[in-house]
Amino acid sequence: MVRRKAKRSAKQRRAIFARFAHLYKKGLKRTKVESSNLHSIGYEPVTKVLEVRFKRKKGTGTSVYRYAGVESKTFKKLMKAKSHGRFFHKHIRSRYDYERVT
């Protein structure tokens, strides 16, 4: 089953993440990955929140985004993928609700 990103307003997306905001004050523990556009990836299985930190052109970390409702099997496939960036863009980026953290 393919989960399509629901068209929600910014207010609705904030409400989704507000339920778990107290858990993420410091952010999730992320693991660095070998990727040209992803710096590190973290996942919280209880709340099904995926946190992704992207790279700048020089390779240092930059923006952090959180994606809601990501199943653990999707996270495992992302971590095992030959290309983390390609998997992320094909299976996660446009299919899940997200919020920019930094």
14-22, Cβ contacts within 8 angstroms, sequence gap of 24 or more: 14/99, 16/68, 16/97, 17/49, 17/66, 17/68, 17/99, 20/44, 20/47, 20/49
- What is the rounded CA–CA span in Å between residue 26 and residue 2? 31
**pLDDT score for 17:** 65
Inform me whether the pLDDT recorded for 5 exceeds 70: no
At residue 2 the predicted structure's pLDDT band, cuts being 50, 70 and 90, is: very low
The pLDDT of residue 57: 73
Where are the chain's structural domains? 10-100
9-28 pLDDT per residue, tens: 777 766 766 666 655 556 67
Task: Tell me the two tokens of residue 16.
Answer: 């989704």
Would you say the pTM of this structure is higher than 0.85? Answer: no
pLDDT in tens, 23-76: 555 667 888 999 988 999 999 898 889 999 998 777 566 888 999 999 999 999
